[in-house]
Chain A
Amino acid sequence: MQGSLWKTWQRQRRLRRLQEPYRTLLSTDDGALVSIDCETTSLKVKEAEILSIAAVCIKGNRLYASDAFYTLIKPQKAIDNENVRVHGLRPRDVSSGLPLQEALEKFLQFIGGKTLLGYYLQYDVAVLNKYLQPMLGTVLPNREVEVSGRYYDWRFAGYPDSYIDLSWETIIKGLHIPQLPRHDAMNDAITVAMMYLALQARGFGVTTVHPEQKT
């Protein structure tokens, strides 16, 4: 309870610090979740440049894959060949991408004040914040749900004494989620959303219901 009080206060403070039009935009919470994933040039937040962002909404038991957000971003620096192997985005793939600023604007329009959902979300949010902070005057105020945390709670409830493996593959298997044929930001965001649907059905969805969310 202490933690959630702190988070609520932190969220309020961030919202207050927001400039318009972002304050109105990021305060609108329709109770939906948005699963996000970014592909970046590095795993170090300081060095990482965003190459693509994907986001997809969940409401109730429906995952709105048909109305998803996906954009490629033109990097400011040249992409390191080493990294191409990790994310599969070649320089030519992202050369047609949007400029970073424009992509982030669109991304904010899409997510609004929805709760963010992700796998190792902390990293994605940190990279996004690195670029968003100058625009917003603060970091993203959205609530966050870590899918591996929800998975941990579910496994823990069933097997409290066992070691719980939180790797991507294990969660997919453990929840009987289909492997999507492609590995990219969009499909990863959808996969995370499917994980969440499965966990939600087992009673391990969002734990605390916020006053705004009830309406």
Chain B
Amino acid sequence: MATRFDLSHPPFDLLTPAEASALSDAADVLFFCDDQEILQAGGSVDSLYLVLKGLVREMSAEEIVGVYGEFETFDCRALATGKTIHRFEAHEEALLCAFPRQEVLALTEKNPAFGAYFFATVSDKFGQLAKKRDRREWQNLFTAKISDIGFRQPVFIDANQTVVDAARLMKAQRCRSLFVRDGERTGLFTTGDFRDIVANAVPGDTRLRDRAQFSLLSCDKDDFLFNALLLMTRQNIHRIVVTEKELPVGVLAQIDLLSYFSNHSHLISQQLEMATTVGDLAKVAQDMEALVESLATQGMKMPQLARLIQVLSTRLMARLWQMVASPTVFAGCALLALGSEGRGEQILKTDQDNALIVGDGLDENEVAQAAENFTEQMLRLGYPLCPGGIMVSNKEWRHTAQEWIRTLHHWARQSQGDPLMNLAIFLDADTISGPPAWLAICRDALRAGVLDDATWFSRMALPVEQFPNQKADGGFWWQLLNREGSAHLDIKKAGIFPLVHGIRVLALETNVMATNTFDRLDALVSKNVLKKTMADDISEALAFLMHLRLEAGLEMLRIKKSLSNEIDTASLSMLDKDLLKDALQVVKRFKHMINQRYHLDRF
């Protein structure tokens, strides 16, 4: 039986039908005119409110701190404490359902999932989201097609050639199976066949025609991956031939399948190894985008996904650098990934941020040429140019280690602005290719120079306040209130940057060596700089903001728009909006903490 009021939205969708029905029957309905006060700040609260129609705003003094639209619930905190710290007002004629607090509390005890929604700390609320995403993962497994997986390209060999020829070709092509052409028919010859060849002392000049397997099992490339797995399991074989219109176009190995189901990255790293031209790399770069999309929809957690992509893109860039630089330049320089790329937090290719530490005694022109070529080819691989010119093609970002140390000290002495941000970006660097010790030398020299200067850290921390609350999240609430237009939020300014930069400064001050923000958080907790609960909230909030940015970014790629940090809040689900509110609250709390620690209000 349907309930009296629509309780199909979170958290009420967690109730059993009987519970929902009983709660619905215990509800009263209230109506408030525009701007009428619903709950008084500090007043006692005897109900949990569900918005049936209209909009409600949550006010702290004269500042809006939250907005509740249809099917949203407030005030969860008051449910626990019986008191609200903020004032609630109807923004637009609000029709509310009031559930008696005692009844809701009783339900939270009876129904653990429902209870968790309310009493969980912010962290737990995010976990709930992850649980919802699990369902999608299963779906993805059952709907993936063979063509989605990027099976191995076939390598052909003639049936008249010998097993030794086959071994040589496999070694040269770094592959584990060959298609054997024998007139009309096609056979398969795999590394597994060598076992029998060796065991039976088959001579090396034996023709492949006599050793290849010609009765092959195949699947069309548009068939479900799941069917391929079933076929292999049933027949107890490790490879099947992938066909397109009956013709073999590739080989699907069981190992590929398993790695797809556990981690799709395997094939990409293999393709990277085999790439010999920039064109090959461009294809790999494209595959990486698809990988990101598929892993993200499968619900892979952001920090892990970001790190996986970092590993792959580091190898991609190293491979490209190897292709464009002469062997002397390649061996004599350290190529650095800077900023988010260095921290391992860039998931989509937002821009190129890189620098070069040039070894002594190299020809300057030769290095310049290689560097310019690198930047150009990176663009071809889909990495947009850095608008700030932070790229190896810019000679400001190519120095010897000694020059770098001077530059870093020069930047550090500037009072604020670009040089300090340059420094921040450099601090997050990671070595892509070349000796990693050079970067460590530069960093250590910098640390030694600034460590006892307390005001220096304050200046460094100042950009955290660069995008003030009023403009970023305060304005965001106003946009949410204006429901007709779609509300855009610069998620980097409003959330990601303040978190990342604040953590970076804390890490620098307390001598934390890690560059990844999540690693830095862990280190800051173990050094007692941050409380564990705060660090957990920050890392969940950051992961969630990254996730939102990624989803928005994937959508932009889908409609072929250039990437930006803007998200359209109108397109967010109720749960995402809820989590976004929580995440922005965490950002605010953290900014406040940084402000206090570095006395930023003095500037």
Contacts and interface: CB of A to CB of B under 8 A. Distances in A.
A126 to B, nearest CB: 27
Interface string A153-181: 00000000000000000000000111011
Give the most central of A64, A66, A190: most B CB within 10 Å: A66
A62 interface: yes
Q: How large is the interface on A (under 10, 10 to 19, 20 to 34, 35 or more residues)?
A: 20 to 34
A201 interface: yes
Contact of A61 (B4, B26, B31, B100): B31
Q: Is the interface of B mostly helix, strand, loop or mixed?
A: strand
A78 B1 CA distance: 25
Contact of B31 (A64, A65, A181, A197): A197
A190 B95 contact: no
8 contacts: A62-B98, A66-B28, A177-B53, A177-B95, A182-B1, A182-B4, A194-B95, A201-B32
Interface string A180-203: 111000110010011001101100
A181 B5 CA distance: 7
A63 interface: yes
**What 4 pairs between A and B have smallest CB-CB spacing?**
A197-B31, A63-B29, A181-B2, A201-B33
A64 B1 CA distance: 22
Interface in A32-63: 61-63
A197 B29 contact: yes
Given A65-B28, A66-B25, A197-B29, A176 B4 contact: no
Interface in B390-424: none
A2 B100 CA distance: 45
B27 A197 contact: no
Nearest to A57: B28
B6 interface: yes
Interface string B204-237: 0000000000000000000000000000000000
Interface string A89-116: 0000000000000000000000000000
A62 B30 contact: yes
B4 A186 contact: yes
Interface of B: 1-6, 25-33, 52-54, 93, 95, 98, 100
A52 B30 CA distance: 25
B29 A65 contact: yes
Contacts of A197: 29, 31, 95
A198 B29 contact: no
Contacts of B6: 178, 180-181
A181 B8 CA distance: 11
Contact of B32 (A61, A176, A177, A178): A61
B166 to A, nearest CB: 69
A193 B52 CA distance: 14
A66 B27 contact: yes
A211 to B, nearest CB: 27
A186 B5 CA distance: 12
A89 B3 CA distance: 17
Contacts of A178: 6, 52-53, 95
Contacts of A190: 4, 29
